[in-house]
Amino acid sequence: GVEPTRCASFTAALEAGEPVPFVSSSTLADGLAVPQVGPHAFAVARHWVDEIVQVSERELAVAMLRLVENNKVIVEGGGAAGLAALLPGGPLDRDDIKDKVVVAPLCGGNIDTTMLGRVIERGLSADGRLLRLVSPVSDRPGGIAEWARVVADLGASVKDIFHERAWLYSSVDQVLIKAVLETSGHEHNEEVIRELRKKYPETYRVTGADNGIND
């Protein structure tokens, strides 16, 4: 069985030997967000479930993205939980399961377009295909354009860009660029940062809580 880390109510019930309340948080797998397992469901499932694992919001987002990109299938978070556990890095990405026939039900497409857009963007971030960075550049005419040309030559695409002057104290003739770039993945991200630093040494990548999904 698979359930979201943010609402691991079945795991809590198994550990307690009976359904118990679980303090849950908002999750992409809202269809699985049950604060307390029902007594009848628990009585039946406990005899047929060999193991229960948990998946993070990051893993759910990537699974939903994979289904849209590779299979052209739209599945809500709860329906994609099984695949999330099986993908590389997931809790079921294990040697004892590899090379075996595994069936992961894909059920439920109850997700609106606004949420789907958010999930795709977060999935891209979790997959390393969105790079968020900060880069001080010349505030003279053509400074930002030159920075954009360097990014384009590196094969990255500018998704969002914002520049500010008031909070940059190192030099009055510079402007601080905050940008989100579309890239091909983690290795491409490293290349972009490395090459940008050759011309813009103070460029740095924004990671952690400011870069999307963390748990």
Question: How high is the mean pLDDT in each 10-residue block of the chain (215 residues)?
Answer: 94 94 92 92 90 94 94 94 95 92 90 88 90 91 93 95 74 86 95 95 80 38
Q: Which stretch of DSSP H or E encloses residue 19?
A: none
Strands 2-4 and 53-55: parallel
Taking the C-alpha atoms of residue 27 and residue 104, their distance in angstroms, rounded to an integer, is 20
Radius of gyration of the chain (CA): 22
pLDDT at 20: 95
pLDDT at 173: 79
pLDDT at 139: 86
pLDDT at 109: 87
Q: What is the 3-state secondary structure (H, E, C) of 102-140?
A: CCCCCCCCCCCHHHHHHHHHHHHHHCCCEEEEEEEEECC
Residues 197, 203, 209, 212: is their CA dihedral positive or negative? negative
